[in-house]
């Protein structure tokens, strides 16, 4: 009798501890990335710091730093999580792979949450909206400045992996949405914006499509460039933070911070502060 009771008790203990282990695994899976960020004490941001005023390099106290309103938002997210922010700067078209491999915890890079990307990553609520502008050489303002059709047979530059590649094809080249995936001989894709700006200044290309605030920022430092009078809207609604698919707990935290910053008007403040730091 006593032996049986002991056996029953130890069996019950085994079941109980199994349940506890299972329970903590399930919790670990649910809060996965959020937990590991809190444990490590740092949040790793992936971005492409060539996109003023979103994210760009600037000299702060004589030292190179990555700044911008996206960085300010990332700092707020880190603060709300009680951790430090670490920034990894890379080409825009490498960001989602870095997220998938766990090399970065989140991506904030003026990224548009389009359908194609939504299949691979999860996005926060939109934190900022901008239209797309077209940079040209000032000397060509009369030729290309007032009508997108004037660029139909010219070389257009856009950042590799960015939605502006598609915009250049569909809105300037007249390619149909269904054919917009295929490369176009007159749409030049480069990894970083400053390289495209160089090509524009050297007449290797005749225009660059980028988010309007970015086009304006580059213009400010390049007196030989001008902005076309037309702009493009896309249907995908602006910029959002990307996280690895299925990290619901982390995403919920990010959305809390985004909501707080939007409702207090802080994001507009970050945009003007960032715009003042733009040096190029």
The H helix count followed by the E strand count for the chain is 11, 13
For ligand ARG, the binding residues in 76-105 under the rule CB under 6 A are 92
Nearer to ligand ARG, 124 or 159 (CB): 159
Is residue 109 at the binding interface for ligand ARG, with CB under 6 A as the rule?
Answer: yes
For ligand ARG, the binding residues in 144-173 under the rule CB under 6 A are 159, 162-163
Select from 46, 110, 145, 213 the one that contacts ligand ARG (CB under 6 A): 110
Distance in angstroms (rounded) separating the CA atoms of residues 164 and 157? 9
Task: Give the DSSP H/E element, type plus range, for residue 16.
Answer: helix 2-30
Is residue 122 at the binding interface for ligand ARG, with CB under 6 A as the rule?
Answer: no
For residue 53, is the peptide bond before it cis, meaning its omega torsion is within 30 degrees of 0? Answer: yes
Query: Minimum distance between the CB of residue 271 and ligand ARG, rounded to whole angstroms?
Result: 15
* Residues 278, 139, 132, 205, CA torsion sign: negative
Nearer to ligand ARG, 135 or 163 (CB): 163
Query: Minimum distance between the CB of residue 45 and ligand ARG, rounded to whole angstroms?
Result: 12
CA atoms within 13 A on the CB side of 132: 27
Structure tokens that stand for 256 in this block: 């809390």
Is residue 112 at the binding interface for ligand ARG, with CB under 6 A as the rule?
Answer: yes
* Residues 136, 137, 142, 143, CA torsion sign: negative
Q: Contacts with ligand ARG: how many residues (CB under 6 A)?
A: 14
46 contacts 107 by C-beta, under 8 angstroms = yes
Point out which span in 15-23, 25-33, 51-59, 257-265 binds ligand ARG (CB under 6 A).
Answer: 51-59
Stretch 211-250: interaction string toward ligand ARG, x if CB under 6 A: x---------------------------------------
């Amino acid at each position: 009798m006593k032996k049986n009771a002991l056996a029953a008790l130890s069996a019950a203990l085994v079941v109980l501890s199994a349940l506890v282990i299972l329970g903590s695994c399930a919790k670990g899976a649910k809060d996965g990335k959020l937990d590991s960020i809190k444990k490590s004490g740092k949040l790793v941001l992936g971005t492409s710091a060539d996109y003023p005023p979103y994210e760009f390099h600037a000299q702060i106290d004589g030292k190179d730093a990555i700044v911008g309103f996206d960085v300010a938002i990332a700092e707020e997210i880190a603060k709300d999580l009680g951790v430090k922010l670490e920034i990894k700067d890379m080409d825009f078209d490498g960001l989602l792979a870095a997220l998938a491999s766990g090399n970065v915890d989140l991506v904030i890079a003026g990224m548009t949450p389009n359908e194609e990307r939504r299949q691979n990553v999860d996005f926060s609520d939109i934190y900022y909206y901008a239209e797309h502008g077209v940079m040209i050489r000032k000397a060509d303002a009369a030729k290309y400045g007032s009508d997108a059709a004037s660029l139909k047979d010219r070389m257009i530059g856009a950042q590799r992996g960015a939605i502006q590649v598609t915009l250049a094809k569909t809105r300037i080249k007249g390619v149909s949405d269904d054919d917009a995936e295929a490369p176009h001989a007159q749409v030049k894709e480069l990894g970083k914006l400053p390289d495209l700006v160089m090509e524009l200044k050297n007449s290797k290309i005749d225009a660059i499509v980028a988010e309007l605030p970015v086009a304006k920022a580059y213009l400010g430092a390049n007196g030989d460039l001008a902005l076309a009078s037309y702009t493009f809207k896309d249907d995908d609604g602006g910029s959002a933070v990307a996280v690895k698919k299925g990290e619901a707990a982390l995403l919920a935290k990010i959305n809390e911070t985004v909501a707080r910053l939007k409702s207090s008007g802080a994001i507009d403040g970050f945009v003007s502060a960032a715009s003042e730091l733009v040096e190029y």
